[in-house]
Chains A and B, each alone.
Chain A
């Protein structure tokens, strides 16, 4: 179908462009902080409590790895890790672009690159800013509550913020708007799941720097994603409104 093909093409292009930009910025900002934080991630000294029953192997423990297992030590490992991160960023871009372009389509309002920028800002608020309000972007080695609880809260905060903004922008019924705003506020009223004691191993300076780096790169990512989505969707959305003849055409017979 023509519409689906063009929708998916727009999302693919927007996702690849924004994911590429995010990859470049992340390699310079967030990723070095992640690698630095992983030095603090491993707290159990490897083979320190090993019994002395195998003395011949003791020599092989010369360069004991004190950093996280995932920290790349060779060029191959480093390249593989960067490659996988870039691939993940591209997939993230395409996934968010599909969701954003679907929202543009359902809203049915005209879009272009500039309006797309506003849509992108909305996406940033929904999935970056709103969840970060309760669950700050976290480095490896930071203390956190149960993962599934945090994922659920993240989803609720993001979906709530998205629904709330969409209702404020497009809804006419004030009860719908009130319910949507309540849905946006509810996860924050309930509160994000936090660990009993916030005693992570990562230095607070590193963690604070990571929060701003993560939000900053996400803002750039969403600006590009929204603008490109809006630009490529400009011929697809909003024109149906100017065609009231849609219902009178007996094409369906």
Chain B
């Protein structure tokens, strides 16, 4: 649908392996950073805010 038409519209811009690697790396970097913050970081305020979510998702919390 819209995603497909977008893709074919930009069809001439064939994706390179480097573009794929950069996009995947950026997603992994941001994803890991967010995951560390919400699931692992120990400053008291972050811990308290994410407390119930950490327990529910079975991150080690206390």
Complex interface bits, B47-62 against A, C-beta within 8 A gives 1, otherwise 0: 0111111111111111
Interface residues in B29-52 (C-beta closer than 8 Å to A): 30-35, 37-40, 42, 48-52
Q: Are B3 and A91 in contact (CB under 8 A)?
A: no
B31 to chain A, nearest CB (A): 3
Query: Which residues of A in the span 61-86 have a Cβ within 8 Å of any Cβ on B?
Result: 70, 81, 84-85
Contact of A235 among B6, B14, B20 (CB under 8 A): B6
Give every chain B residue within 8 A of A2 (Cβ-Cβ).
Answer: 10, 13
Tell me whether A3 and B19 are in contact (CB under 8 A). yes
A99–B28 CB distance below 8 A:
yes
Given known pairs A4-B22, A92-B57, A98-B30, the reply for A26 and B37 (CB within 8 Å) is no
Question: Considering only CB atoms, which chain A residue lies closest to B2 in the complex?
Answer: A235
Contacts of A239 in B (CB 8 A): 7
Q: Which of A48-56, A113-121, A127-135, A164-172 contacts B (4 or more CB under 8 A)?
A: A127-135
Residues of A within 8 A of B (CB): 1-4, 6-8, 11, 22, 26, 30-31, 34, 70, 81, 84-85, 87-89, 91-92, 94-99, 101-102, 105-106, 108, 128, 131-132, 135-140, 144, 147, 150-151, 154, 210, 214-215, 217-218, 232, 234-236, 239-240, 243, 245-246, 249, 251-252
Q: Which of B35, B56, B60 has the most CB of A within 10 A?
A: B56
**A92-B60 in contact (CB<8A):** no
B-to-A contact residues, CB < 8 Å: 3-4, 6-7, 10, 13-16, 19-20, 22-28, 30-35, 37-40, 42, 48-62
User: How far is B26's CA from A8's CA once the two chains are assembled, in angstroms?
Assistant: 9
Known A-B contacts A34-B56, A144-B62; A95 and B34 likewise in contact (beta carbons under 8 Å):
yes
The reply to whether B56 and A217 form a contact with Cβ atoms under 8 Å apart is yes
Determine the main DSSP class of B at the interface with A.
helix
- Specify which chain A residues have a CB less than 8 angstroms from the CB of B37 in the assembled complex: 91
Closest to B46 in A: A88
Say whether B34 contacts A1, CB under 8 Å: no
Minimum CB distance partner of B18 in chain A: A252
List, sorted by A's number, 11 A–B pairs whose CB atoms are closer than 8 Å: A1-B19, A2-B13, A6-B6, A34-B52, A84-B50, A92-B35, A95-B35, A140-B61, A144-B62, A218-B57, A246-B16
